[in-house]
Amino acid sequence: MRVLILGAGGHGRAVCEAALDAGFEVAGFLDGRAPLPAVLGLPVLGTEAAHEGGPLLIAFGDNAARLAAAARLRAPLPVLLHPSAIKARSAEIAEGAVVMPRAVLGAQARIGRLALVNTGAIVEHDVELGEGAHIGPGAILCGGVRIGPRAMVGAGAVVAPNVRVGEGAVIGAGAAVTTEVDAFSRVAGVPARIIS
């Protein structure tokens, strides 16, 4: 499938390489900072205004920005599943979701629309990720965890079994989450505690 990548920053470059590994034909990038020089040898074709309606991989690490871009552009949003990721047969991945190298999706995991499962993250059995959620590199979500829409789980964080993380919540890198996290709150530490 031929795609454009929206976002030519660091995450855009990572998504581009994952897409190429997964067999996509990447035509180039769109970026709000255009004009830019070529990125990874591919052209930056302009800002999102240059999008003509074809399939698009939205490569923004920021959850709200990813969802807002999808709402503005209304493009086909393919799933990107890196070939080194491990996906259980019963796991489900919604449109526009990105699953990066060496990530693991367990039995009956459900990955929401435009969610991002970053490099080496583990999403165990029966986990649900809401729309636009972001699971950082190396994070571990134990069985039965529920992550709300637009929530962020930082790199290396661990969320204990059956814990719920509310909409828009942020879990700091390396945190150990053992109790429910309210919507739009920020937690960090071992064990995780509210910081704002």
Each residue's pLDDT, cut to its tens digit, for the chain (196 residues) gives 999 999 999 999 999 999 999 999 999 999 998 888 999 999 999 999 889 889 999 999 999 999 999 999 989 999 999 999 999 999 999 999 999 999 999 999 999 999 999 999 999 999 999 999 999 999 999 999 999 999 999 999 999 999 999 999 999 999 999 999 999 999 999 999 999 7
Specify whether the CB–CB gap between 82 and 99 falls below 8 A: yes
Domains 2-73 and 79-196 share a fold: no
Where are the domains positioned within the chain?
Answer: 2-73, 79-196
DSSP summary character for residue 49: G
Closest alpha carbon to 80 in 193, 4, 137: 4
Specify the pLDDT at position 35.
Answer: 87
pLDDT attached to residue 116: 98
> Given this model, what pLDDT does residue 170 score?
98
Query: Model's pTM, two decimal places?
Result: 0.96
Single out the catalytic residue among 11, 51, 82, 125.
125
* Paired tokens of 195: 């910081």
Strand pairing class (2-6; 122-123) = unpaired
CATH fold, domain 2-73, is: Rossmann fold (3.40.50)
Query: Catalytic site residue 51?
Result: no
79-196: CATH homologous superfamily? Hexapeptide repeat proteins (2.160.10.10)
Cα maximum dimension of the chain: 48
What is the reported pLDDT for 36?
A: 87
Q: Which amino acid, residue 46?
A: G
Q: What is the pLDDT of residue 14?
A: 98
> What is the chain's alpha carbon radius of gyration, rounded to the nearest angstrom?
16
Burial class of residue 184 in the structure, from the number of CB atoms within 10 Å of its CB (0-12 exposed, 13-18 middle, 19+ buried): middle
Residue 187 φ/ψ, nearest 5 degrees: -130, 155
Residue 184 CA to residue 4 CA, distance in Å, equals: 32
